[in-house]
């Protein structure tokens, strides 16, 4: 039987940094990339003014201790085809604790 060793992590090892990665694939074949550490009006303005075919969003919450006792990266991500869904999910992913 495998046993999972519980590791002790102090608060210094646990990072609590949120970040957004947004990739918009435009109709002419180009890709625009945007990264930020805060959800601002700039992101929603950027999304609402650009016509795109596909969009990829990844919101990273930093490293936290998972159920196995390991220090893991936690994130939400997804692919979106329209602006309404993309803006809705950006707000949902970026909800404050």
Query: 83 lies in a domain?
Result: yes
Query: 10 lies in a domain?
Result: no
More confident residue, 42 or 12: 42
Residue 12 pLDDT > 50, yes or no? no
Query: 11 lies in a domain?
Result: no
Q: Taking the mean position of all CA atoms in its chain, how far away is CA 79?
A: 12
Q: Which two tokens stand for residue 58?
A: 């990844």
Q: In which domain, by residue range, is 69 found? A: 19-93
Cα separation values, 42 from 47, 64, 87, Å? 9, 28, 12
Query: 89 lies in a domain?
Result: yes
What pLDDT is recorded for position 61?
84
Q: Determine the 3-state secondary structure of 49 from DSSP.
A: helix
Question: pLDDT tens, 62-82?
Answer: 888 888 888 888 888 999 999
Q: How many CB atoms lie within 10 A of CB 1?
A: 2
Total domains in the chain come to 1
Question: pLDDT tens, 16-63?
Answer: 678 888 999 998 999 999 888 876 677 878 888 888 999 999 988 888
Q: Which residues pair with 77 in a beta bridge?
A: 58
Query: 4 lies in a domain?
Result: no
Query: 71 lies in a domain?
Result: yes
Query: 45 lies in a domain?
Result: yes
pLDDT band at 1 (very low <50, low <70, confident <90, very high): very low
């Amino acid at each position: 039987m495998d046993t999972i060793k519980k590791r002790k992590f102090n608060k210094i090892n646990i990072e609590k940094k949120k970040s957004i990665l947004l990739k918009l694939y435009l109709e002419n074949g180009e890709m625009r990339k945007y990264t930020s550490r805060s959800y601002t009006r700039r992101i929603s303005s950027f999304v609402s003014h650009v016509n795109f075919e596909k969009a990829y969003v990844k919101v990273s919450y930093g490293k936290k201790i998972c159920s196995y006792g390991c220090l893991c990266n936690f994130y939400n991500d997804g692919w979106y085809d329209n602006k309404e869904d993309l803006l809705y999910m950006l707000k949902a992913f970026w909800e404050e604790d």
